[in-house]
Structure 1
Amino acid sequence: MSTMQHAWLGSYEVSSTTCTGLSFARHSHDECVIGVNVIGEEKVWLDRREFEAGPGSITLYNPGQIQGGGAAHGAPWQFVSLYVTADQLAADLGLAHVEFDRSLCVQPVLAQQLAAAVAGVLSADALVRGLNEDALVALLGEVVAVSGVRLPGSTAIGRGLVRQAQELLAAHLHQSLPLDQLGTELGLSKFHLLRAFQKETGLSPRQWAMQLRTRRAKGLLRTGVAASEVAHDLGFADQSHLNRHFRAAYGMTPGSYQRVLKR
């Protein structure tokens, strides 16, 4: 018996599977495949060789490689998988070409972070999904690096470009500005934009936009605008999302804040 969650994130396909004794016939993919073993031992057959991948293992397959394997009959197995074309992964990371040099990387902390990010992008909450999509890009850079691919140097893009990114985010607060669209506007890969923005502000672009959205919500609430209207005007999914982020930032709900102001 197995359960699977599956989603498309623009150019990425992700899945999370919990099962017992699942096995796969020998096959190949057109995309790069990145797998993370969370629970259980996987026996892998890859291009005429065999190896085992336990919990905390990240398995990496280049397009066209013949692979197969799985968990022993009755054995519990939980894993997440990510599929992306080599061209797309290279573009997102600012590389001319991507080809994994290693098929198995035992990286428990990175594996856990990657699995958590995939769980986040499979969430029913749009804001949680978005934040984890950004995290996934940064983590893919780390995965590619430990696989033996050399990432471009962290050339400083300068505060000017980060400010431009902030201006674009502020101008689109009523809607979510995807990382790839922001990168295209600034002529940067998603990975480089994310890394530079986090270095300058301590936040991802999406996190920075959310704190600005929440701050502006506070200003509108102070003038007496209804919370439902504030949520709509500033691009929150609904009033409950405004409530959650406002409480996290200021320790009270929008309603409580407006009641305090009336005292």
Structure 2
Amino acid sequence: MSAVQHAWLGHYEISSTTCTGLTFARHSHDECVIGVNLVGEEKVWLDRSEFAAGPGSITLYNPGQIQGGGAADGAPWQFVSLYVTAEQLAADLGLAQMEFDRALCFQPDLARRLATAVKGALSGDGLVRDLNEDALVLLLAEVVNLSGVRLPGTVASGKGLIGRAQELLAEHLHQALPLDRLGDELGLSKFHLLRTFQKETGLSPRQWAMQLRTRRAKGLLRKGVAASEVAHDLGFADQSHLNRHFRAAYGMTPGHYQSVLKP
């Protein structure tokens, strides 16, 4: 028996699996495959060699590599997986090309954070999915670095570049600006955009856009605009989405805020 959650997140295919005694015949993938073992031990067969991956292990497979294995019969096993083409991963991280130099990394803290981001990316909440996509890009940079691939250094950004990013985000508040499109506009990979933006502001681009969206919502509510209209005009998924973020930022719902403004 096994329980599998599966979804696409932008260009990433992700899954979370909980099972008992699951095994895979020898096979290969067109994409890079990154696996995180959470519970149980996986016996791995990879290109004529064998190794074990226990909890806290991250497994890394290049496109076309022959792999197989799984958990022993009756043994509990829980893991998350991410699939992405080598070309896409290279582009997201600002690399000319992408190939893992190691098949196994034992990094329990990184494995936990990567698994948390994958599970968050399976959420039904669109904003939560977006924020976890951002987290995955940064975490994949750590994984790739551990695998032996050297990442490009930080680009010279300056406040001008981040200012332009903020202008673009502000112009698209009513409809979220995808990270790859924002990166294309600025000539940055997703990884360098995220790292540079966070260094300058302490927030990811999506987080910064949400705080601006919430701040503008406060201004419209102060003018007496209905919360449902505010939510629609500023690109919130619905009024409950506005309520949740407004309360998190200001400690009260939009309705309560408007009620205390009345004489």
Matched, 1:236 2:216: no
Q: Distance in 1 between matches of 2:9 and 2:23?
A: 26
CA-atom RMSD, angstroms? 0.7
For residue 88 of structure 1, what is the aligned residue in structure 2? 88
For residue 196 of structure 1, what is the aligned residue in structure 2? 196
* SS in structure 2 at match of 1:246: helix
For residue 14 of structure 2, what is the aligned residue in structure 1? 14
Q: Distance in 2 between matches of 1:10 and 1:129?
A: 10
Please give the TM-score of this superposition, normalised by the length of structure 1: 0.99
For residue 170 of structure 1, what is the aligned residue in structure 2? 170
The 5 A counterparts of 1:249-260 are 249-260=249-260
Quote how far apart the aligned CAs of 1:11 are.
Answer: 1.5
Q: Distance in 2 between matches of 1:185 and 1:7?
A: 27
Q: Distance in 2 between matches of 1:245 and 1:115?
A: 25
Structure 1, unmatched stretches of 5+, are none
Q: Distance in 2 between matches of 1:262 and 1:22?
A: 62
Q: Distance in 2 between matches of 1:69 and 1:156?
A: 45
Quote how far apart the aligned CAs of 1:159 are.
Answer: 1.1
Which amino acid is 2:99 matched to?
E
Q: Distance in 2 between matches of 1:248 and 1:148?
A: 40
For residue 220 of structure 2, what is the aligned residue in structure 1? 220
Which amino acid is 1:178 matched to?
P
Contact 2:9/2:129 (8 A) holds in 1? no
Which amino acid is 2:2 matched to?
S
For residue 75 of structure 1, what is the aligned residue in structure 2? 75
For residue 57 of structure 1, what is the aligned residue in structure 2? 57
Q: Distance in 2 between matches of 1:226 and 1:9?
A: 33
* SS in structure 1 at match of 2:124: coil
For residue 109 of structure 2, what is the aligned residue in structure 1? 109
Quote how far apart the aligned CAs of 1:92 are.
Answer: 0.5
Please give the TM-score of this superposition, normalised by the length of structure 2: 0.99
Q: Distance in 1 between matches of 2:129 and 2:9?
A: 9
For residue 138 of structure 1, what is the aligned residue in structure 2? 138
Contact 2:27/2:66 (8 A) holds in 1? yes
For residue 33 of structure 1, what is the aligned residue in structure 2? 33
Q: Percent identity?
A: 83
Quote how far apart the aligned CAs of 1:10 are.
Answer: 2.3
For residue 125 of structure 1, what is the aligned residue in structure 2? 125
Runs of 4+ in 1 over 2 A off after TM superposition: none
For residue 180 of structure 2, what is the aligned residue in structure 1? 180
For residue 44 of structure 1, what is the aligned residue in structure 2? 44
For residue 147 of structure 1, what is the aligned residue in structure 2? 147
* SS in structure 1 at match of 2:150: coil
Deviations 1:62-120 (A, max 9, x none): 01111000011111111111011111100110000111011000111111111011111
Quote how far apart the aligned CAs of 1:27 are.
Answer: 0.4
Structure 2, unmatched stretches of 5+, are none
Q: Distance in 2 between matches of 1:10 and 1:23?
A: 28
Q: Distance in 1 between matches of 2:111 and 2:198?
A: 21
Which amino acid is 2:208 matched to?
W
Deviations 1:211-231 (A, max 9, x none): 000000000000000100000
Q: Distance in 2 between matches of 1:9 and 1:184?
A: 19
* SS in structure 1 at match of 2:168: helix
Quote how far apart the aligned CAs of 1:155 are.
Answer: 2.4
Which amino acid is 2:61 matched to?
Y
Aligned length, in residue pairs: 263
* SS in structure 1 at match of 2:65: coil
Which amino acid is 1:64 matched to?
G
